[in-house]
Structure formats: structure tokens, C-alpha cells
């Protein structure tokens, strides 16, 4: 457990690292990359989508604060949330005896915030995808704690993180059922009625919170409905995972690469660094294998759940290309 002062230091450490990542983009002006359209005026529009509340908050802030400052704060927050969230989630896993636990926690946090996935989504301007990704560790940790000690307080915390994902990223929201089912299955049969009761109550509350955009979606009054209907096989192929690492799709997905825009020469790919990329990839895969060995040997339930979720995510990320 981290003391309050240690928690503050942790956020500061990840904030400093986030500033190093963003570098020159923290200067005056807007970051304009592919899908990231941002300006001094942020119109809400007439349509109600899942991100309407978030856009309203941003528009309200920009009425008093320059828009580029709001944008930079949000982008920094995404990196900090990703790093600290993974750090805290890793702290819930049994790692055995030794004095290297702190090192492993920082390794988890750093790798979760600094990787090809975050890089490509950042340069492609997909900040809402980054937001969903950054919030996932917090949601997993909160749901796991609810399943370990079912209570109203734990359900509210878990529901809050799940709602934040639903109101931010439809992509991440689609993975939430897998998270809840796997965590519930691995958590054991202890207090099963209480677990199911609080999960049901949390699910109903989530539906109520999201009704403002779910109703138009389900009744065909949302552009999301038409977007889904128009997503045909040609678009499935266009946005499919590419084998950008050695021409191999599974390997590319495993290394968090293969983004559809990687082949369009819009930015420098991580693997363009040559041997350095190869060395780092081997080190990361080595850490993953060590982690898998420890989790299996210690039979840590949360660790096993994360392994299962990782395998599901890996399979899904390969898409129709596999």
C-alpha cells in the first residue's frame, strides 16, 4: 500500500515522464494530428453521443481557459492515468519475495504508458481511444476489489470507472463485458450472491447513466447507428491489423503494433530505429514471460485473470487479418 505522500510522489513522477514524452508539443498552440481536431471554440452540436458530457465539460473549460491549455492538460492526464493505473493494478498482484517489487511496479507503469499503441494513437490524434486505454487499469482494479470485498462503496467506485469508460471510449467499452466475466469467474465462489447482486445493481446504474445516448443509438437516431450500418467488408480490410513487424500479424499485435495507419507513412514507426527496437522488444517479451511464470507459479488469481484477458485481447486485436 502507498502512503498519501508516496501517492503524491507517484503522480509527480509519472507527470514528469509524461512531460518528457510530449516534449515540444507542450508549447503554445494546438496539437493537430489526423483525428485530433481542436480549436478555441468547441461546438457541442445537435447530436447526442456517448462523449457529449465530456465535450460539454471541455467546452465549459474553454470558455475560461485557452483551448490549447485544456488540450495539453488532457493529453498529459491520459499518460499519467495510464502509467499510475497500471502501477496500482500491478501492486494488486502477488509477486513473491524479494526487494525488486517497486522496480516491477514501475516497469508495468512505464510499459503501459510508453509503447507502440500509445505512440501511434497519439500521433494519429485518437485521444479518445487513448482515454479508454488509460482508464482500463483503474476499472479492472476497482471491479476486482468489488469482487474481493463486495460492498456499496466498492460498487460505486467500480461503477464510476466503468461509467467514465462508457462516456469516453466506445472501443474500450466493448471490452468491459470480457473484463467483468473473466474477473468474476476467476474470483471464486465466495460471496457469490453478494458479487452478483452488486454487479447487477452496478450494471443497471450504468444503463441509466448512459440512457441519454443509448436510446438514440438503439432507435436509429444517432450517427453511430449509421456508422455501424455502413461499416462493410472494405472498411474491415482497410482498418484491419497489419503485419508491420516482420510481416507477421500475430507478432505485430503481440508487440502492440500493426495499426492500420502504420503502412501509410504518416509517421516514423518504432521499428524504424533498427536494432534498438529489436533489443527493446526482446527485453519486453522477456519481462512478459517472467511475469507469466511468476503468476502461474504463485497462482495469483488477478494475475491469471489478466493473462486470460491479455490472450483474449491479443486474439481480438488480430481481427480479420488472422
pLDDT value at 321 more than 60: no
27 is written with which cell numbers? 508549447
Distances (CA, A) of 138 to 141, 182, 293, 308: 5, 16, 24, 18
CA 178 to CA 180: how far, in whole Å?
6
Query: Could you report the per-residue pLDDT of 117-162, keeping only the tens digit for each?
Result: 999 999 999 999 999 999 999 999 999 999 999 999 999 999 999 9
In the chain, the percentage of residues whose pLDDT exceeds 90 is 57
Residue 219 pLDDT more than 90?
no
The C-alpha atoms of residue 247 and residue 239 are separated, in whole angstroms, by 16
Q: What is the mean pLDDT of residues 278-307?
A: 88
> What pLDDT is attached to residue 245?
86
Average pLDDT, the chain: 89
Are 188 and 144 in contact by the 8 Å Cβ rule? The answer is no
At residue 113, the pLDDT reads 95
**pLDDT for 99 beyond 80:** no
How far is residue 88's CA from residue 201's CA, in Å, rounded to a whole number?
26
Closest CA to 298 of 162, 136, 101: 101
For residue 95, what are the CA distances in angstroms to 131, 288, 292, 297? 28, 13, 11, 10
Q: Please name the residues in contact with 266: beta carbons below 8 A apart, sequence gap of 6 or more.
A: 34, 123, 124
Handedness of CA 38, 40, 41, 42 (dihedral sign): positive
Residue whose entry in the numeric block shows the C-alpha cell 456499496: 152
In this prediction, residues 72-91 reach a mean pLDDT of: 96
- The answer on pLDDT for 6 being more than 90 is no
Place of cell 456508422: 227
Please give the Cα distance from 309 to 168 (Å, whole number): 21
* Average pLDDT over every residue of 7-34: 91
**Kind plus residue range of the DSSP H or E element containing 8:** helix 4-22
State the first-to-last Cα distance of the chain, in angstroms, to the nearest integer.
42
For residue 37, pLDDT beyond 90: no
Mean predicted confidence (pLDDT) in 90-104 = 77
pTM metric for this prediction: 0.92
Supply the pLDDT for residue 97: 62
Give the pLDDT band (50/70/90) at residue 296. Answer: confident
Q: Report the C-alpha gap between 304 and 183 in whole angstroms.
A: 9
pLDDT tens for each residue of 46-66:
678 899 999 999 999 999 999
Query: Which range, of 44-53, 191-200, 241-250, averages the lowest pLDDT?
Result: 44-53
> Quick one: the chain helix, strand, coil %, rounded to 5?
70, 0, 30
Please report the pLDDT score of residue 292 as a whole number: 87
Cα–Cα distance measured from residue 231 to residue 107, given in angstroms and rounded to the nearest whole number? 38
Furthest C-alpha separation in the chain: 57
Amino acid at each position: 500500500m502507498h502512503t498519501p505522500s508516496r501517492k503524491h510522489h507517484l503522480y509527480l513522477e509519472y507527470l514528469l515522464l509524461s512531460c518528457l514524452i510530449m516534449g515540444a508539443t507542450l508549447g503554445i498552440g494546438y496539437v493537430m494530428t489526423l483525428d485530433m481536431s481542436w480549436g478555441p471554440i468547441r461546438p457541442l452540436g445537435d447530436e447526442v453521443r456517448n462523449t457529449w458530457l465530456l465535450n460539454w465539460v471541455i467546452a465549459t473549460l474553454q470558455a475560461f481557459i485557452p483551448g490549447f491549455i485544456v488540450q495539453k492538460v488532457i493529453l498529459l492526464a491520459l499518460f499519467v492515468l495510464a502509467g499510475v493505473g497500471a502501477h496500482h493494478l500491478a501492486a494488486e498482484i502477488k509477486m513473491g519475495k524479494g526487494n525488486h517489487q517497486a522496480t516491477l511496479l514501475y516497469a508495468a507503469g512505464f510499459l503501459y504508458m510508453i509503447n507502440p499503441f500509445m505512440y501511434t494513437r497519439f500521433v494519429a490524434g485518437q485521444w479518445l481511444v487513448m482515454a479508454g486505454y488509460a482508464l482500463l487499469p483503474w476499472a479492472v482494479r476497482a471491479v476486482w476489489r468489488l469482487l474481493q470485498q463486495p460492498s456499496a462503496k466498492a460498487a460505486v467506485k467500480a461503477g464510476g470507472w466503468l461509467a467514465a469508460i462508457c462516456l469516453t471510449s466506445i472501443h474500450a467499452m466493448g471490452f468491459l463485458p470480457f473484463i467483468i466475466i473473466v474477473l468474476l469467474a476467476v474470483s471464486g465462489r465466495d460471496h457469490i450472491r453478494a458479487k452478483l447482486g452488486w454487479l447487477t445493481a452496478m450494471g443497471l446504474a450504468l444503463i441509466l447513466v448512459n440512457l441519454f445516448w443509448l436510446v438514440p443509438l438503439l432507435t436509429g437516431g444517432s450517427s453511430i447507428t449509421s456508422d455501424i450500418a455502413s461499416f462493410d467488408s472494405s472498411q474491415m480490410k482497410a482498418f484491419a491489423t497489419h503485419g508491420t513487424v516482420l510481416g507477421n500479424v500475430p507478432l505485430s499485435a503481440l508487440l502492440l503494433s500493426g495499426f492500420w495507419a502504420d503502412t501509410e507513412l504518416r509517421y516514423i514507426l518504432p521499428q524504424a530505429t533498427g536494432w534498438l527496437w529489436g533489443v527493446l522488444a526482446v527485453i519486453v517479451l522477456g519481462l512478459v514471460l517472467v511475469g507469466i511464470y511468476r503468476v502461474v507459479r504463485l497462482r495469483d488469481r488477478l494475475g491469471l485473470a489478466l493473462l486470460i484477458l491479455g490472450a483474449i485481447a491479443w486474439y481480438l486485436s488480430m481481427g480479420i487479418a488472422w
